[in-house]
Amino acid sequence: MNLLIKAAKIIDVSNPELHSKKRDILIKNGKIEKIAAKIAPDHQTETVSLKNLHISLGWFDSGVCFGEPGFEERETIANGLETAAKSGFTDIVLNPNTHPVPDSSSDIVFLKNAAKGQVTGLHPLGTLTMKAQGNDLAELFDMKNTGAVGFYDFKHPMENANLLKIALQYVSNFGGLAYSFPMDAAIAGKGNVNEGESAVRLGLKGIPALAEELRIARDLFILEYTGGKLHIPTLSTARSVKLIADAKKKGLDISCSVAIHNLLYTDSKLEEFDAAYKVMPPLRTKVDTKALIKGVKEGSIDFVTSDHIPMNIEEKQVEFENAAYGTIGLESSFGILNRIFETETAIGLLTKGRERYGMEQPKIKEGEAANLTLFDPEVKYRFEAKNIHSTSKNSMFLGAGLKGKVYGVIHNGRTLF
């Protein structure tokens, strides 16, 4: 692969020498060979010249679901990774939302092998407990050795506080990252939307913010006792942000994420009784959304994630209370973040997070492997079905106004435009 990228504006605040500069970038055999104001093309090199071309480090998503194995009709690994690449992502962390769940080293090997040869890198999470049932720890050390970047019973609360304590103590021996989904099941009960005015008006059962906040408070006490590394995925309330911020001030090794849809929409969307907006954790209030955005800007929230969860049409087009949780979000991630934040901030959010999972952060530098995303941040458009590359089409963003278009990615010695 020999490519000459012409007149690309580089967005990389970590590299002040190149940030906001227009440069030609020559890539040979998957590596950045030269970066200069002008590079003359030769007959062996393909030239890439695009309107308002911007370039950044390849984007990273810390929370993506596909379907394979078990739910291939929702999404295969191959099409899921192609969708991620077309959405600008060169690396994704794969949630253990399959059947069977990956709770052994052989499961992790299967996932890694299924992703070989793809432009986008797949970094799997194993489950924290056997079959994600919360009773016995899974093969954590063996899974780590075969490529698992963390351990998570996907969207299942860890009800056994002592088991979480043991897990954190155990993974600290080999630098593993344990997850705990922030939900107290007893308090959440049979709720399926945010407990608030919208739920009362619509006659839907609510999930109190307390269910999330109480669980986070418990987990932080355990982390303070045990040490180790803990990740809290997909915060949704204002008080959760404060709890995490206070824990970081104490020096605890804690990280967290927020789903992009919780930054954009509130529970007022439920007035439409559209199951596309049924997610877990649920859409919350305007106060929560503002606090989450502030937490992202101030760094209390470490990562934003698409929380991409493909679901079949029959799992969504049923009565609201019986519908499955989840929305796809890879294709719309950039357009939403670039709408909420300034472009530099949006790109910063899309390129951070790899180090938390033991991955090396790429660099835009001569001699380095090319791990790049190409885009135009100014294009405005309405998100439509034709913009969806996923097999499943359960997007809550259909009809939303987005800002920014992905041209393609370069990674693993391959390109996808």
Active site residues: 307
- What is the torsional sign of CA 12, 382, 353, 34? negative
Q: How far apart are the first and last CA of the chain?
A: 14
Residue 170 backbone phi and psi in degrees, to 5 = -70, -50
**d(Cα 114, Cα 310) in Å, to the nearest integer?**
18
Spatial distance between the Cα atoms of 242 and 98, rounded to a whole number of angstroms:
33
Asked whether 323 and 113 are in contact (CB, 8 A), the reply is no
Residue 287 CA to residue 289 CA, distance in Å, equals 6
Q: Rounded to the nearest 10 degrees, how much is the dihedral formed by the CA atoms of 234, 240, 243, 246?
A: 70
How far is CA 37 from each of CA 14, 20, 40, 286, 362, rounded to the nearest angstrom? Answer: 20, 13, 10, 46, 22
Residues 6+ apart with CB under 8 A from 272: none
Give 402's contacts (C-beta < 8 A, 6+ positions apart): 332, 334, 335, 336, 338, 339, 380, 381, 382, 383
Please report the sign of the dihedral spanned by the C-alpha atoms of residue 344, residue 346, residue 347, residue 353: positive
Residue pair 362/58 in contact (Cβ under 8 Å)? The answer is: yes
Considering only CA atoms, which of 363, 282, 361, 285 is closest in space to residue 321?
282
d(CA 25, CA 13): 18
